[in-house]
Structure 1
Amino acid sequence: MRWSLLRPVVLASPVLLTATMAAGAEGHKSAGPSEFLLIVQIVLLIAVGRGLGEIMQRLGQPSVMGELLAGILLGPSLFGWVWPEAQHAIFPKTPEQKAMIDGIAQFGILLLLLLTGMETDLKLVRRVGKAAIAISIAGIVVPFACGFALGEFLPDALLPNPQQRLVASLFMGTALSISSVKIVAVVVREMNFMRRNVGQIIVATAVIDDTIGWIIIAIIFSLASQGTLEFGAIAKAVLGTLAFLAVSFTVGRWLVFQLIRWANDTLVSAAPVITVILLLMSTMALITHLIGVHTVLGAFVAGILVGESPILTRQIDERLRGLISSFFMPVFFGLAGLSADLSVLRDPNLLLLTAVLVVIASVGKFGGAFVGGTMGGLSTRESLALASGMNARGSTEVIIATIGLSMGVLSQNLFTMIVTMAIVTTMAMPPMLRATLTRLPPSKDEEARLEREEFEKRGFVANLERMLLTVDESANATFAAHVTGLLGGARGLPITVLHIGRQAQQQEQKRGEDESHEAVVKKAAEVVGKSTEEAVGHVDVTTRARRARLGEAIGEEAKKGFDLVLVGVDKVTATSDRFDRRVEDIAAEFQGALAIVAGKGNHLKDPMPASFNILVPVSGSGVSRRGAEVAVALAQAASGSLRVIYVATTRDKGVRRAASRALIQEEGVLKDASALAARYDVDITTTLRSNTAPEAAILREIKATCVDLVVMGVDRVQAEHLSFGSVADAVIRQSRVSVLLVSSGESHRPPDKES
């Protein structure tokens, strides 16, 4: 274990030695800025920062602490103290050379705030909004007042410009009052407390803290740039910030979503969505700069809007996180550590002031958060956990201190003191939070909610991000549009409608706006919004017409990241035992989840029914569970009922043990289906049929009951043509009511008849 912890440091030693020799040789060649020296600096910061970050994570600390410590070790605090000539050769203080890596670090700040914004869950804030806002206000006001008071009593020698003491005091108050949402979220997530009530309140409070903090920093930046307390400039900054936020979270939210969708669906170059996101971030950062506030606010808000986009959020997060974590974070935090000279703490006065700063910051934040938690209705243990979590400053504090240093508001010594405070409070936070959270057992209501959310996390419907609806001009296409709107309306999923008929555009124009497939989708989504309180009730619909061969058109759409393709065409099955050629072409080009809609009877006369009576055959397999999820979602959206049928086909009737196992399985499958329906308040009836063929039992159940829709989860069977097995084929051809087949997208061999 000891060797595994020391290995990153040992491996970094040759890099440091090689870099030192190369930097010394380069220094003799030229006195101007050197690209070679820039690369050496980046290599060192990444190698040492990532190595120490690995060690910190194994010790239960966030990796950002290792990256910050890497800068401190490579800076004047250690490396410059042990070998000053080498340290100055690698990290010279010439303005030209320093500006090169500073530019990377400044762009890194924007990317860090973009990532922080993407991790900001506004739904979580709204869910615990009242308590979180009360706690956040108390948790900010108390430490802010303490920090401001400390700034007013600081010696003039610690201020770069004593005439601007007000700005420095405001900076100190902000530095002591803001928590690091990134550090808090990481620790809470690592402890599996992210979905716990107290965990949600902690993270939501940190989010509000962060948001308020960046607004305060933006205003202070405007104040610092003016040099004096000019109410006109402050009013401009405040009103500009409010206007920027108002536009961003109304028109901006829609615009960001449309741009991301357009880039993903239209551009063919590599990583177009990432390019658009970086341009959005930079544009919003420039806008905040033009209105007189700091660029970090624009980057943070851009991250929130990108994170709220319902398209490709997982892929975007993974790609951006890799780039930022592996490159920009080690460079930025390492450079922040380089700027902190801990050797100045050898001065007893500065050391004492730093200790006072740490105490005031900890007591102020801990006390303010604890009081806020008590006022917000939390128990004593919950308030202690909240106060422990909110005391971590981490990356947010370092960014604020770096901005203050670059603006000339903070002196070098004051910057070092704030960075030291950030390190101490952040390293103390994880063990304190773990100790308090482990003493908080969940209540019964909380356990029920956690079970439901854990189920949804693994579920199919809950993880859908966008759907593709392929339709022609038929009544079945209208029925498929209605089903698609019901599925998408509950979560506000974006839906693309692809018209595959030969005369699709002409037919759509004849239908009129109120009768088009797009209108049907939106009407169904609005029905969902009225039927359930938590439903979104709005979907964004994009329309496309087929301009190429059907297979090519579906192949192009398949590249755009759809989770589910729904097929609604006039003719679903052919005269023989095969599906229609168009259905087979779609299934051949799209290998993901597929839903085939076969409207029959009344649903062709009235393709937009007010409710459904749904029959769901289940077998206990994953794909049948997927069908059950879709059925429950439709029943909930349309205020319908659900009937679940399980067909037992135990062949070894003479063996008592086999019969016993079958009975246990039957009970378990029906119990799971009932639990699924109960989670969403859907009426359910369960039926067991034994010693009969599944297709015969299902068709008999359809005739004997008043169901009007059969939803079946099916697997594709490996065959020369599209097939979902004999049971599904029989049901979709012989059923007198509508059928919805939900395929997993994976092909399986047909089961052995003897098994």
Structure 2
Amino acid sequence: MTSMQIIEPLGHHELFLVIAQLTVLLFVARTLGEAFRSIGQPAVVGELLAGVLLGPSVLGLIAPGIYEALFVVPADQFHLLEVISWLGLIMLLIVTGLETDIDLILNKGRTAIVLSLGGILVPFATGFGLGWVMPTEFIAAPEQRVVFSLFLATAMSISAIPVIAKVLIELDVIRRDIGQLILAAGMVDDTIGWILLATVAGLARTGVFDVRSALTTILSVIVFLGLAFTIGRRITFELIRWVDNVFGSDAAMLSTLMLLALAAGALTQYMGLEAILGAFVVGVLVGQVKRFDYDLRHTFEVITLSIFAPIFFAIAGLRMDVVALLDPTVFGVGLVVLGVACVGKFGGIMGVSPFAGLSRWEGITIGGGMNARGAMEIVVATIGLAAGILTTEMYSIIVAVAIATSLMAPAIMRWSIPKIEMSPDERERIDREAYLQGSFVENITRVLLPTRGGVDTRYAARLLSPLLRDREIELDVLCVSESRDAGGGRAAEIGTRIQRGLVAWLRPTVRESNTAVDSTEADRIFDSVEARLGDQTRQPRRITRERDDSVAETILDEASVGYDLVVLGEAGTGRDPDEPLFSETVDRVIQEAPCPAMIVSAQAATDDVPDDPIDRILLPTIGTMSSRYAAELAFAIAAREDALVEIVYVVDEPRADEQFAGDPDLAQQVGIGEQIVEREAAFGRQLGASVLTTVTTAKTPEVELVEHAVRTDADAIVMGSDLRSISRRAFLGQRVEHVVRNAPCPVAVLSAD
């Protein structure tokens, strides 16, 4: 029997040295990065210079003892730094993929494609030509001049989306047409650039360039991309959805992203391509999953750009030989490379701008922006050095070009963008995006609908149907059964959730259960609710849960796992205003729900009403945020049901004992009401809904709202309310409670505290 060889742990001095190296690199990189950011320059320039300052060119000359103690180390020791550097590189490519908006590229269509072709083909051709005539001493493997030329062509084609985006954000033009065109064309450039890079690096690893090797590498790329954007896309979506359903934590989602990227990176590395290709593709795929929202992306981006990316750039700077750049030959070649880079990218964009229907100033802006290489070209240079394509001198030249073009781009764009006028269509689009930026409905990904099969939850499902249609929103229908065994503890609960999550992933429409309930009764309840949903792309998940201490506790426990909206059907306890409006269960869920809650009361309805069309929705408003969220729901329903939304604002007339003399002057209050309803109406029209506005006065607004619903034959009332607690019960306000108790039609109340 062969004994397993025990690998000795990392020695004390080796561990101390790598920690000290990381401490110094991160401190200097972040300090210089923030210093450059404060003067309006890309932080990556400062982070690169940190490596230069700590390398042989500066620290090695000023304090050779410190430099040698820190960085003149055996190869095995330096490889420890390289591992962390590669981890930062992989994370940086994930961030790049997350920021690659496929929909944006498709929306810009022909214009983006024309621009990207000019931004790729011309620089690629000029870069290849430069590589073909480059002096032999600048080529690491002279016998691979074709591979070197292809690599240099790829380096010249890359653009730095992070640098471009930063400048566009600072100038507040990132959502303008010109900003969107730059980003779309840059994303196409970079996507093609990463594929080219993986292909060229794969060719370099074979050691020779021949047609068979080239075709094998290209075929490997095509196969990987084909599988990634078909089977891989589905797996990614379902895995992210499953993790969110089961665990519902940011940590689990970020871990899943990193695991997918590492696995894909390992696969592409094994295929003879670069690990960065797998990481980039995973970033693109995850970026298309709505569940992986802005907050998660921002968290990952902050971790990457504040810790791992600076270390990567600083280590890249360590490899840069500034002294070599001062050599007349190297300096001359560097100027030629810089000139070819600028002329190729800028000239290519300017050459195709007329064919894309762009003005001269638009061409200058896009060419100047896409000329920035920034972090992306440093990534390319690092891979070229590691693959044995570049010499140290050529590596230093490419890094210097990346820095120079990154400093040039902001100046050009700040000069040219103010000269581009905004068209009326562009203004309309920007206004619409501003409306949708803080949208409540558009950010809903998961909805929980507890049900016992009553008419109220069936009508709630009827209202949800148009919201779910054509949206990436998942509905979970929850049925709570009586508990047969209260034991098990937290560990059992987590185990149950994982088991239910696995069932949901493999069979997303089956009934999940952790109890032996009457399946016939449960199916009857689920079927009655699903019948009101109509035809949906994704059928709702059926969840059956044992009752915990109370039904409310069970619902709240389920709602705590990452839902954006809880919808409760509740008929109310009666018309007596002295009684609580809702049952104890609904009352508690409203107060303690970790997300907005919508209560649907269909006490005025019969079993047949939920199937009737919704032609007219009454939307009372008072201009609060809850009213705005309710308005979004109403507009979203109306836009898909071809219904009319009537926005009503009722001015509260003072009582007779509050009037000093004569009729009160309510002109100011009416004017405010008109402003509020017009603002909501403009929002509704932006969302595609038909809108009617009404401003009226009444001594009892709640009575007027009910009577108005009767007069106009409203099919539903949708309203918002700020929750207030009175004597341990949820109080939605006198107006809301009166409307719910007395309305002639179903009422939906959104509480979004």
- TM-score, structure 1 normalization: 0.88
2:342–2:371 contact (8 Å) kept in structure 1: yes
| Equivalent residue, structure 2, for 1:529 | none
- 1:568 shift after superposition: 2.8
| Equivalent residue, structure 2, for 1:506 | 520
Query: What per-residue deviation string (whole Å, max 9, x for no partner) do you get for residues 181-213 of structure 1?
Result: 222122212222121011001011111111101
- 1:555 shift after superposition: 2.9
2:265–2:276 contact (8 Å) kept in structure 1: yes
Secondary structure of the 2:192 match is helix
**C-alpha distance in 2 between matches for 1:633 and 1:342:** 60
| Equivalent residue, structure 2, for 1:636 | 639
* Alignment of 1:684 onto 2:691: yes
**C-alpha distance in 2 between matches for 1:609 and 1:350:** 79
Greater displacement, 624-633 / 735-744:
624-633
For 1:163-312, list aligned pairs within 5 A: 163-267=143-247, 271-312=251-292
State which of 579, 583, 586 in structure 1 corresponds to 2:586: 583
Query: What per-residue deviation string (whole Å, max 9, x for no partner) do you get for residues 102-151 of structure 1?
Result: 01111111111111111111121111122111111111010111111111
Shift in alpha-carbon separation, 1:323–1:665, aligned structure 2, 3 A: same
**C-alpha distance in 2 between matches for 1:644 and 1:728:** 15
* Alignment of 1:415 onto 2:395: yes
Secondary structure of the 1:271 match is helix
| Equivalent residue, structure 2, for 1:624 | 627
* Alignment of 1:452 onto 2:459: no
State which of 729, 732, 740 in structure 2 corresponds to 1:732: 740
- 1:44 shift after superposition: 1.1
2:716 is aligned with what amino acid? Answer: L
**C-alpha distance in 2 between matches for 1:520 and 1:184:** 48
Secondary structure of the 2:731 match is coil
For 1:107-186, list aligned pairs within 5 A: 107-186=87-166
| Equivalent residue, structure 2, for 1:709 | 716
Greater displacement, 365-374 / 145-154:
365-374
Greater displacement, 318-327 / 390-399:
318-327
2:560–2:594 contact (8 Å) kept in structure 1: no
1:310–1:494 contact (8 Å) kept in structure 2: no
CA root-mean-square deviation: 2.3
| Equivalent residue, structure 2, for 1:10 | none
**C-alpha distance in 2 between matches for 1:669 and 1:497:** 36
**C-alpha distance in 1 between matches for 2:155 and 2:662:** 74
* Alignment of 1:666 onto 2:666: no
Greater displacement, 173-182 / 321-330:
321-330
Query: What per-residue deviation string (whole Å, max 9, x for no partner) do you get for residues 367-414 of structure 1?
Result: 112223322111211111111110010111000100000010111100
- 1:361 shift after superposition: 0.2
**C-alpha distance in 1 between matches for 2:43 and 2:326:** 27
Secondary structure of the 1:500 match is strand
**C-alpha distance in 2 between matches for 1:262 and 1:273:** 10
1:508–1:516 contact (8 Å) kept in structure 2: no
2:481–2:546 contact (8 Å) kept in structure 1: no
2:620–2:647 contact (8 Å) kept in structure 1: yes
- 1:468 shift after superposition: 2.1
- TM-score, structure 2 normalization: 0.89
State which of 609, 613, 617 in structure 2 corresponds to 1:614: 617
For 1:94-105, list aligned pairs within 5 A: 94-105=74-85
Greater displacement, 283-292 / 449-458:
283-292
| Equivalent residue, structure 1, for 2:346 | 366
| Equivalent residue, structure 1, for 2:60 | 80
**C-alpha distance in 1 between matches for 2:606 and 2:233:** 37
**C-alpha distance in 1 between matches for 2:646 and 2:735:** 18
**C-alpha distance in 2 between matches for 1:504 and 1:661:** 61
2:440–2:629 contact (8 Å) kept in structure 1: yes
Where structure 2 has 5 or more consecutive residues not aligned to the other structure, the ranges are 1-9, 483-516
For 1:463-474, list aligned pairs within 5 A: 463-474=443-454
| Equivalent residue, structure 2, for 1:593 | 596
| Equivalent residue, structure 1, for 2:319 | 339
1:480–1:597 contact (8 Å) kept in structure 2: yes
| Equivalent residue, structure 2, for 1:562 | 563
State which of 649, 652, 662 in structure 2 corresponds to 1:646: 649
2:670–2:696 contact (8 Å) kept in structure 1: no
Secondary structure of the 1:363 match is helix
1:281–1:303 contact (8 Å) kept in structure 2: yes
Shift in alpha-carbon separation, 1:206–1:516, aligned structure 2, 3 A: farther
How many equivalent pairs are there? 700
Identity of aligned residues (%): 32
Query: What per-residue deviation string (whole Å, max 9, x for no partner) do you get for residues 40-91 of structure 1?
Result: 1111111111111111111111211111111111112221232333212211
- 1:425 shift after superposition: 0.2
1:399 is aligned with what amino acid? Answer: V
2:688 is aligned with what amino acid? Answer: D
Greater displacement, 647-656 / 614-623:
647-656
Greater displacement, 444-453 / 658-667:
658-667
| Equivalent residue, structure 1, for 2:546 | 547
- 1:641 shift after superposition: 0.9
Shift in alpha-carbon separation, 1:658–1:210, aligned structure 2, 3 A: farther
Shift in alpha-carbon separation, 1:629–1:31, aligned structure 2, 3 A: closer
**C-alpha distance in 1 between matches for 2:518 and 2:738:** 31
Query: What per-residue deviation string (whole Å, max 9, x for no partner) do you get for residues 648-673 of structure 1?
Result: 11427659996332132022012112
**C-alpha distance in 1 between matches for 2:108 and 2:250:** 40
Greater displacement, 390-399 / 238-247:
238-247
Shift in alpha-carbon separation, 1:31–1:682, aligned structure 2, 3 A: closer
State which of 605, 608, 632 in structure 1 corresponds to 2:608: 605
Shift in alpha-carbon separation, 1:690–1:390, aligned structure 2, 3 A: same
**C-alpha distance in 1 between matches for 2:26 and 2:662:** 66
2:743 is aligned with what amino acid? Answer: S
1:236–1:291 contact (8 Å) kept in structure 2: no
State which of 356, 363, 368 in structure 2 corresponds to 1:383: 363
2:248–2:562 contact (8 Å) kept in structure 1: no
* Alignment of 1:328 onto 2:328: no
**C-alpha distance in 2 between matches for 1:245 and 1:590:** 43
Shift in alpha-carbon separation, 1:657–1:116, aligned structure 2, 3 A: farther
1:685 is aligned with what amino acid? Answer: L
**C-alpha distance in 2 between matches for 1:32 and 1:403:** 31
- 1:291 shift after superposition: 2.7
| Equivalent residue, structure 1, for 2:465 | 485
